[in-house]
Chain A
C-alpha cells in the first residue's frame, strides 16, 4: 500500500472530536461577522490558535494578526505597548514607537488573558473600543485605526468584575459572543492526531527520528485527564521525542504522573462516569476507550471483555 506523504502544512487545528466540531461550527459562523468574540478556556487549551483561526476565516485575513498577552506586560508599560508612544514621552523613549493597536490596523488585535489587564489601562481601552480612536503616550493627535478586537480569558470575566479587578463598563462593552474552548479531556478523539503531529514536528525541531508510541502508551495518553491540555500533551511528547528518539515508547517511558490506566486490573468491579447529555456514539466511544485503556491497549482482551469481535472494536475506534 502506498501511503500519502504526511502534510507539511496544517491549515486548521485538529478538530475531529464532536466537541471541537460543534465549537468550530459556531466559530465559523461568527468569524465573518463584525462581533466581539471572547474565548474562554483553560490554560493550554488553544485559545490563541482558535483566535488565529477566527482571523483567518474573517474578511480581515489579509491584514495582520497581533497577539498581546495582558498578563505579561508590566502595568507601567501597558498603555505604551497598546497605543504606542511619541519620542520623549518618557525616559528611554528615544524614538516614536508604534503600539499593538496601530500595528494591527486592518486586521485583528488579540488580547490574551484580558482579565489581567491593569485597571488603569481599562478606561483607555474602553474609549478606543467605542471610538476606534486613540492617542499615543505623549501624543497630542488623535489617530484612527480599523481593527477587530478578540479577547481570551481563563475564567469568565464576571468573577473579575465582582472582585473589582475588571471594570463593569468595559465588561459590558466587550461582551459579545463568548466561545468556550473545550479542554483536551472533552475532545479525546483529537488526541491521536495531535500526538502524531507533535511526534513529527518535535522530531524535526530536535533533529531526531520521531519516537514510536506503543499501543499501551497511547492508551494511557488517551485516558489521561490533561489538566494542562494541549500544551501539556506537547510537552509530554517533546520529552519522549528527546529521550526515545527512533525507539518505541512504552508506558514506563512516559513522564512521571502518567498512570498506566484508570485501572490496570483486568478483572473486578470497575466504574466509569458517562455524561448522559452526549450522543450515544460518544458514550460508546467513552466506554470503548476506558476498556481498551484498562486492558493496556490489548484489543483482543478488550474485545473479549466487551463481548464483541476485535474487528468490531477496531472499526469502532476508527469511526
Chain B
C-alpha cells in the first residue's frame, strides 16, 4: 500500500459505504472502510460520509487537521456550512462537498491533493 494512495473511508457500515469503497478502489486508491477514525495520521486522505445525525462535524475534522497527515480530508455532508470556516482556514487540505454528490467529485478532490507527475516528459 503506497501511503499517498491510502484512503480511510469513514461512514456507517452499509451498502453506500461498500459501493463507494469499491468505486474508490477502482479509481486506484487503497481504501480502508471504518465506522470511526481516531488516528488518521497513517492515511494519505480521509473521506467522511457524515450522516445528518452527526452532532458536530467540526471536532473530528479539527482533530484530523492537527497533524500534517492526512494530506487531504473530504467531507460529504448535508450541512456544509458547519465546516465553512475550517475549510477557509485549510483550503489545501479540507474539501467539503454538499450531499448528494457524484462519486467522481470525491475522486477529483482526492487527486487534486496528489496529482501524479507527467509521463513521458
Q: Which residues does A use to contact B, with CB under 8 Å? A: 5-11, 49, 52, 56, 61-65, 98, 102-103, 105-106, 143-146, 197, 200-201, 203-205, 207
Residue in contact with B51 in the complex, picked from A5, A65, A106, A207, CB distance below 8 Å = A5
Residues of chain A within 8 A (CB-CB) of B104 are 52, 56, 65
Q: Is B37 an interface residue (CB 8 A)?
A: no
In the complex, the answer to whether A143 meets B106 with C-beta atoms within 8 Å is no
Number of chain B residues whose Cβ lies closer than 8 Å to a Cβ of chain A: 34
Nearest neighbor of A52 in chain B, beta-carbon distance = B104
Give the A-B contact count at a CB cut-off of 8 A.
96
Residues of chain A within 8 A (CB-CB) of B50 are 8
What would be 30 A-B contacts, judged by CB atoms less than 8 Å apart?
A: A5-B51, A6-B99, A6-B100, A8-B49, A8-B78, A9-B16, A9-B20, A9-B49, A9-B103, A9-B106, A11-B19, A49-B102, A52-B102, A56-B23, A56-B27, A56-B103, A56-B104, A61-B27, A64-B116, A65-B104, A98-B121, A102-B121, A105-B118, A143-B120, A144-B120, A200-B99, A201-B100, A204-B77, A204-B79, A204-B80
Residue in contact with B118 in the complex, picked from A5, A7, A49, A103, CB distance below 8 Å = A103
In the complex, the answer to whether B76 meets A105 with C-beta atoms within 8 Å is no
**Alpha-carbon distance between A217 and B79 when the two chains are bound, in angstroms:** 26
Residues of chain B within 8 A (CB-CB) of A143 are 120-121
**Alpha-carbon distance between A143 and B31 when the two chains are bound, in angstroms:** 33
Q: Is B111 an interface residue (CB 8 A)?
A: yes
Within 8 A of A (CB), among B64-121: 76-81, 98-104, 106, 108, 111, 115-116, 118-121
Nearest neighbor of B100 in chain A, beta-carbon distance = A10
**Alpha-carbon distance between A11 and B23 when the two chains are bound, in angstroms:** 8
In the complex, the answer to whether A8 meets B16 with C-beta atoms within 8 Å is yes
Residue in contact with A9 in the complex, picked from B101, B111, B120, CB distance below 8 Å = B101
Chain B proximity of A238: nearest CB distance (Å): 12
In the complex, the answer to whether B103 meets A10 with C-beta atoms within 8 Å is yes
In the complex, the answer to whether B98 meets A204 with C-beta atoms within 8 Å is yes
In the complex, the answer to whether B51 meets A10 with C-beta atoms within 8 Å is no
Q: Which residues does B use to contact A, with CB under 8 Å? A: 11, 16, 19-20, 23, 26-28, 49-52, 76-81, 98-104, 106, 108, 111, 115-116, 118-121
Nearest neighbor of A96 in chain B, beta-carbon distance = B121
Residues of chain A within 8 A (CB-CB) of B118 are 98, 102-103, 105
**Alpha-carbon distance between A98 and B118 when the two chains are bound, in angstroms:** 8
Residues of chain B within 8 A (CB-CB) of A145 are 119-120
Nearest neighbor of A202 in chain B, beta-carbon distance = B98
Chain B proximity of A31: nearest CB distance (Å): 13
**CB-CB under 8 A for A8 and B120, given A62-B26, A62-B27:** no
Residues of chain A within 8 A (CB-CB) of B27 are 56, 61-62
Residues of chain B within 8 A (CB-CB) of A64 are 111, 116
